[in-house]
Amino acid sequence: MEKDNQNIILVLLESPYAGKTKKEIDYNVKYAQLCMKDCFDRGEYPFASHLLYTQPGILNDTIPEEREKGIMAGLAWGRHASKTVVYCDYGISKSMMEGMKKADSEGREVEKRYLYYSSGRIIDKWKIKTGDDIVNDIKRTIDTVYKNGIDNIPPSPIPQFPNGKLK
């Protein structure tokens, strides 16, 4: 299954990683995995340095020098990407902003994306959700990934749950 090199779209993926607790970091990792799946669903080949370099035995994100090394390595790889895609459901962190600035300085397109909502809102049965409701919907989706595996999550933009509707 060979793909024509002219049709390959390399993207540098930006999403939050750091958190105040292990659970927050775990949610951010699962969210980044869903973002990578979204890229593949779009026909892109993503690279997310925060999923690779933070694995045990590589770099420790809690040590500032190692965190910086990982960020710099990811940004260096980004020079080969067609664009930087920024997943904004959880907001834009300082590191994500650095990635956006780097892409801009290198003339690379920056595309903001949302897995679960557009224009800052999720539409649920014609009801608009904002704030904590959005975060809770994202957490429920990530919990579903933990229980059922990433392959059982439908493509974005709006996730579906076992009963067929957002809660």
Query: Would you call 142 exposed, middle or buried from its count of C-beta atoms within 10 A (0-12, 13-18, 19+)?
Result: buried
| pLDDT digit string, tens, across residues 49-105 | 999 998 999 999 889 999 889 988 988 888 899 999 999 888 888 889 988 999 999
Task: Spell out the domains of the chain, with CATH numbers in brackets.
Answer: 8-116 (3.40.50.10400)
- 137 versus 40: which is more confidently predicted? 40
- 83/108 Cα distance (integer angstroms): 5
User: pLDDT digits over 25-40, tens only?
Assistant: 888 898 899 999 999 9
pLDDT over 70 (residue 137):
no
What pLDDT shows up at residue 3?
A: 55
